[in-house]
Amino acid sequence: MSQIKNSQFVVFGIKTKINNDAPILSEIIHEGIEDGSINTEFPNECAEIFMLLINIWINPVLFNRTISETLNRLKFLQILMKQLGVDIISDKLIKQILEKHSYIMEDKVEKEN
């Protein structure tokens, strides 16, 4: 967790998500556009904003969020992406993310004590 205090590490993570992971998500979004399950004019931009928000804004370690606060942000992101025509965040995914974040936060508390 000490890496999270290193701004270069954080910026590297952001750049990696945008440069490496967003194009993969963009391809999936393009496939959804082709099969009609996704309706957006901005697949690349949606992929990038999703990566930024899910990996930075929702990150409980970066912002020291509670599970309840994280849930609110995930629900907001779910609605936002749906309004953008990219309905990719299911309730099941939200549950999985919360479980992972609970584990991360428990681990963080143990290391601080």
Instruction: Read off the tokens for 66.
Output: 């509670």
Token reading at 74? 């995930």
Answer whether residue 7 shows pLDDT above 80: no
pLDDT at 61: 78
Query: In the structure encoding, which two tokens stand for residue 19, read together?
Result: 């440069």
Q: What is the pLDDT of residue 109?
A: 47
pLDDT for residue 2: 54
pLDDT in tens, 87-113: 999 999 999 999 988 876 665 544 544
Instruction: Please state, in angstroms and rounded to a whole number, the distance separating the CA atoms of residues 25 and 44.
Output: 8
User: What's the pLDDT score for residue 37?
Assistant: 95
Q: Which residue has the higher pLDDT, 22 or 109?
A: 22
- The whole-angstrom separation of Cα 101 and Cα 15 is 22
As a whole number of angstroms, the distance between CA 61 and CA 107 comes to: 11
How do residues 33-48 score in pLDDT, each as one tens digit?
A: 999 999 999 999 999 9
The candidate with the shortest Cα–Cα distance to 77, out of 88, 68, 67, is 88
Strands (E), the chain: none
pLDDT attached to residue 113: 46
Query: Token pair 């025509």 is at which residue?
Result: 85
Q: What is the mean pLDDT of the chain?
A: 87
- Give the predicted TM-score (pTM) of the model: 0.81
pLDDT exceeds 70 at position 30: yes
